Amino acid sequence: MAWYAASMVQPQDLYSEYLCLDQLLDAQRPWSDLGGRPAHDEMLFIIFHQTYELWFRQISFELDDIQQRFSTSVVDDRDMQPILARLDRIAAIWRLLVRQLDVLETMAPQDFLDFREALRSASGFQSWQFRLIEARLGLRRQDRIPVFHGHFDDALDPGHKGLIARAEQAPSLYDQIDGWLARTPFVERGGYRFWDSYRAAVEHVLDGKAAGVRQALSGEALAAELSAIERARRKFHLIFDEEQHAKGVEEGLWRMSWRGLQAALLITLYRQEPVLQMPARLLSVIMDVDELLTLWRYRHALIVQRMMGTAIGTAGSAGYGYLMSTVEKHRIFSDLYGLATYLIPSAALPPLPESLRSEMGYRYHPADPPVPRAPHG
């Protein structure tokens, strides 16, 4: 009550103080003004990028909590809900960042050109927060597209380079999720082996397809269809055999571990089982984050082309060409998208053993369905 009474006697602008508005609103200082030729749209350009950096700060804050919860040898079941909530928030932020480009596109190319030279060597490529987020999500240095004939972080100051280096040396979110998947207990449980069961179902599906086309086709059409089925069979063999999978990792076909891949397929195929519903949701939201980051890269590349054509970007970057190449090459969780290659129709899916299904259910659920009562009267 004493604080309340004091505030009534001596009013304070607590809102501005809490948000540090004086410092925040004094942080927009167009460099074109210094040259005596102010460019109106430079204010928009500055606020746009400052807002991005604030959202990057929030994404990093969410990743701190997510990665801390994933850092234990066994992730507590109670941690899954907050992990999903944080990931949903990161996805929502990326949606906003994509839409925010609509505001920047209200600036005409000529209006950007009016202050471009004032930027000197400043470039969005130097956003250390964004590079740190990429590294923490799982973009590896060896997977990055070379630029400036050197490393992507050469232009950063030593402190920021150190932050990125430490993130690259620590387990990324990709590594943590892969490790978490690899520990999934239901891949092998008692006498059940998911890989053996699923492999038999796949062979049955492919054999059925081959038999069907032999009855329906002949000549070149038959040969083409049978060849396609055998190619599909070889694709499945690449993941069913551990040595073949390891070879695929060496060749860059996969990054996910063999055990992690099995678990991800199990979760995807049997996602309706109660204990797998939250893991399936986690895989889905991680794909949302990867998709939105890819969409953001694409929109960013298009707006750079719109503003500068094929000219060299600020700070000597390759501009549009470089950004478009990152759309595909800098994907992080593309292995999860690759799972769709190895799915079979639900009708052909082998049923789980009843004992295993019971373990996957909620413990308070009755073993047998209740017997319906006769209506009164």
- The stretch 246-267 carries a mean pLDDT of 94
The pLDDT of residue 309 = 84
Q: Which amino acid is at 125?
A: F
pLDDT tier at 377 (50, 70, 90 boundaries)? very low
> Within a 10 A sphere around the Cβ of 317, how many other Cβ atoms?
19
The pLDDT of residue 86 = 98
Is 202 a residue whose pLDDT tops 60? yes
Strand 188-189 and strand 192-193: pairing? antiparallel
Is 91 a residue whose pLDDT tops 90? yes
SS3 39: coil
Is residue 89 within 8 Å of 16, Cβ to Cβ?
Answer: no
Two tokens, residue 61: 């804050």
* pTM higher than 0.75: yes
- The stretch 325-354 carries a mean pLDDT of 94
- The stretch 209-217 carries a mean pLDDT of 95
- Distance of alpha carbon 339 from alpha carbon 341, whole angstroms: 5
Two tokens, residue 37: 């030729």
Is 89 a residue whose pLDDT tops 70? yes
Is 56 a residue whose pLDDT tops 90? yes
> Nearest Cα to 49, choosing from 329, 314, 316?
314
Is 335 a residue whose pLDDT tops 60? yes
Give the DSSP per-residue string, 181-235.
HHT-GGGEETTEEHHHHHHHHHHHHHHHHHHHHHHH--HHHHHHHHHHHHHHHHH
Instruction: Return the percentage of the chain with pLDDT > 70, whole number.
Output: 91
pLDDT tier at 117 (50, 70, 90 boundaries)? confident
The pLDDT of residue 370 = 55
- The stretch 104-123 carries a mean pLDDT of 88
Helix axes 42-70, 109-116, angle to 10 degrees: 90
The pLDDT of residue 122 = 74
Q: What HEC string does 237-268 produce?
A: HHHHCHHHHHHHHHCCCCCCCHHHHHHHHHHH
pLDDT tier at 310 (50, 70, 90 boundaries)? confident
Is residue 298 within 8 Å of 327, Cβ to Cβ?
Answer: yes
Is 169 a residue whose pLDDT tops 70? yes
| Least confident residue range of 21-30, 98-107, 169-178, 305-314 | 305-314
Is 351 a residue whose pLDDT tops 60? yes
- The stretch 316-344 carries a mean pLDDT of 89
Contacts of 200 (CB under 8 A, 6+ apart): 350
What are the backbone dihedrals phi and psi of residue 147, each rounded to the nearest 5 degrees, phi first?
-145, 150
Is residue 30 within 8 Å of 115, Cβ to Cβ?
Answer: yes
